[in-house]
Structure 1
Amino acid sequence: MFDQSPYVCRVEWGIRGAREAAERGDIIIIVDVLSFSSTVISALSCGAIIYPYPPNLDGSVYAGKVDAEYILGRAEAARKGKPTLSPVSFNHEHVNKKYVLSSLNGAFCTWIASKVPALLIGALLNVDAVASIANQVRSKTKASITVVPCGEQWSELSEYENNLRPAIEDYLGAGAILSNLEGKKSPEAKVCIGAFQNSNQNIAELIWECGSGRELRERGFEADVTHCSRLNLNQTVPILHKDHFVPALLIE
């Protein structure tokens, strides 16, 4: 059986990894650099309130129940001048406003893993801050920490194929966070850290040119790729509190 249990700090991919980490009762850090994690961090830093919701359920109905606005797709929301999954669409005009945010990867992983000692949102934007909060939570709970790079999903699957598409931006973000965590690292975590350390000097260029980065740029979202590639731009650490995210420092 695949297992990293002898180690305090682990890395697991996608929805399956998030579910298994939740079943173990680990502290979980969700990493979806392009763009769920980066968007949640950016939105909270502007004072917005974000409710994560899985895309296979009706987010508009849920938004009505929590008195929030359902975030539309990038293109549609941009036409209407509304905030989107694009992190640069949030600003201080959105302070204290509530939004329901769905995504195929980060929001889904969050939903699957919501019942844990702490579920944190990490990205390149808040590497040092999210690792610091995770270390603080671990010192109190003694729980292990699993960092979950969410990856992307393949479309148009053929028979016998699974839909997880590993994404280097999430792997590099996970490695950056793991490098700042305290505790014994699994071999998988050490390799992930090595990937980040070997790429640290040109990480923005790598993400700009990687498949996910090009995919967004070709759709006209170059600003998202640039923003999400910035290391330690933000000290905001979203933590899941019941059904929505709040800045971690507000949780006692």
Structure 2
Amino acid sequence: MLYHSPYICNVEWGLRGAREAAERGDIIIIVDVLSFSSTVVTALSHGAVIYPYPPHLNGKQFAEQIDAEFILGRAEAAKLNKPTLSPISYSQEHANKKYVLSSLNGAMCTWAVSKVPALLIGSLLNASSVSSVVNQLRMQLNANITVVPCGEQWNDVRENENSLRPSIEDYLGAGAILSKLDGEKSPESDVCIGAFQHAKQKISEIIWECESGRELRNRGYEEDVRHCSRLDVFQTIPLLKSDHFVSVQL
């Protein structure tokens, strides 16, 4: 039985939460701070065209079909001087070029629930801007809103264990967005906003030291963590249109 939230603004975790929101017909904001959401926002700000694609399907074949470049892993792409899941690997030279971007969390959630009234990408980088656009869309579409912090995946998941690892960077990104959304908030949303407001003044330090931040830093991607921890530095608002993102103007 489908549960309809009595609140305008909601928060749901991961792939299962995204599906719940999609079945309700909500406007969905996908939040994957380290790094899918931040990468999409940054790439679109430089004019790149991004196609999200799930990792369990053949992304290389899809890229060939649409005459796009398939995004490789960070280490492999860096050796070839190509754009990666790292947001700082994008620049103006990638403008108007098409890329297929795959990830376990953000891209997977996006692909799985693409048939909704509107699906947007949010991060700390564009929190206020994406909220402004979604406030307008809600009035146009007469739909509720669900912000989906994607979280991470545990390694070596054992039988009967849940693979989702909630991550504070996505929770704080969701809180930043929810804090600017209009309409009655669910209790879960209120707590998420409270977490962001408490952490706002030291958010870069918190993300630097959190588990996901340490993981990236230990792999040599300190600049990714710094970049993704910045608040409201872009007005780029990625909106899924068919199978790729377009940038909505405020």
Instruction: Give me the TM-score of the superposition, normalised by structure 2.
Output: 0.98
**Whole-angstrom distance in 1 between the partners of 2:203 and 2:249:** 28
**Whole-angstrom distance in 2 between the partners of 1:153 and 1:203:** 22
| Counterpart contact for 1:176–1:196, Cα < 8 Å | yes
Aligned to 1:133: 133
How many residue pairs get aligned? The number is 250
**Structure 2: tracts of 5 or more residues without a match:** none
**Whole-angstrom distance in 2 between the partners of 1:132 and 1:164:** 29
**Whole-angstrom distance in 2 between the partners of 1:235 and 1:217:** 27
Matched, 1:220 2:220: yes
Moved more, 156-165 or 174-183: 156-165
Q: For residues 190-239 of structure 1, give each alpha carbon's deviation from its aligned partner in whole angstroms, at most 9, with x where no partner exists.
A: 00000000100100000000000000000000000000000001000000
Q: CA deviation at 1:154?
A: 0.3
| Counterpart contact for 2:31–2:174, Cα < 8 Å | yes
**Whole-angstrom distance in 1 between the partners of 2:154 and 2:130:** 29
**Structure 1: tracts of 5 or more residues without a match:** none
Q: CA deviation at 1:23?
A: 1.0
**Identical amino acids, percent of aligned pairs:** 70
**Whole-angstrom distance in 1 between the partners of 2:42 and 2:150:** 18
Aligned to 1:154: 154
Q: CA deviation at 1:159?
A: 2.2
Structure 1: 4+ residue segments shifted above 4 A: 1-4
**Whole-angstrom distance in 2 between the partners of 1:54 and 1:160:** 23
Aligned to 1:248: 248
Residue identity opposite 2:120 in structure 1:
L
Q: CA deviation at 1:28?
A: 0.2
Q: For residues 75-128 of structure 1, give each alpha carbon's deviation from its aligned partner in whole angstroms, at most 9, with x where no partner exists.
A: 000000000000000000000000000000000000011011110000000011
Q: CA deviation at 1:3?
A: 4.8
| Counterpart contact for 1:4–1:186, Cα < 8 Å | no
Instruction: Give me the TM-score of the superposition, normalised by structure 1.
Output: 0.97
Moved more, 96-105 or 2-11: 2-11
| Inter-CA distance 227–128: structure 2 relative to 1 (3 Å threshold) | same
**Whole-angstrom distance in 1 between the partners of 2:2 and 2:227:** 36
Q: For residues 136-195 of structure 1, give each alpha carbon's deviation from its aligned partner in whole angstroms, at most 9, with x where no partner exists.
A: 100111100000000000010122211000000000000010000000000000000000
| Counterpart contact for 1:22–1:28, Cα < 8 Å | yes
